[in-house]
Homo-oligomer: A and B are copies of this chain.
Amino acid sequence: MLRISKITDYGTLIMTHMAWQPERLYSAAELADSLGLGLPTVSKVLKALGRHQLVSSLRGAHGGYKLARPAREITVADIVDALEEQPFGLTECSASSGVCGLESGCRIRVNWMHINTVVRRALEDVKLADMIEPVPHVVLGAPAALPTVAASGHGDHAAALAANVHPVRGPDSRAKHPIS
């Protein structure tokens, strides 16, 4: 369903937060606190980001994390790559049987790869710096409103803020971020 995982969402959140003061050292605990996320979760994300050289870490007392590169040179695609273990690969036509060999020579795959490429490009076009200073609409393909794209979510943020200070771990904690 083309959804984005929570972890990746957290990743963009954390990275964006750090991009405000790129030279500062943020400890995992501090980030967890400012963002209202669980410390273990934040740790996990930061570790993954560190393994992919998106953040650099300093161990020991007064250690912490900071961006490894300027925010201009980090793309959303980088974050996705770091946080999703499954490699960026397109759908096989279908796992099951031999349509490919039978009739179409699997042009379906070719088309899925094109779609995939476009998605990838979209992810690469948005830099972390754009997350702070909003992107001019021109950067991305579609400028104005698209028909069936829902305004989506965010209506309950105020409520969430009022209700609890720490991670919402209730029955409502499922991912509500589908892309499709």
Contacts and interface: CB of A to CB of B under 8 A. Distances in A.
Contacts of A16: 104, 108
A61 interface: no
A165 B97 CA distance: 7
Contacts of A140: 114-115, 117-118
Contact of A113 (B103, B120, B152): B152
Contacts of A152: 87, 89-92, 113
Interface in A55-69: none
A70 interface: no
A134 B110 contact: yes
B111 A131 contact: yes
Contacts of A166: 97
A-B pairs, 8 with minimum CB distance:
A36-B97, A91-B177, A89-B152, A92-B153, A118-B122, A86-B178, A98-B161, A89-B150
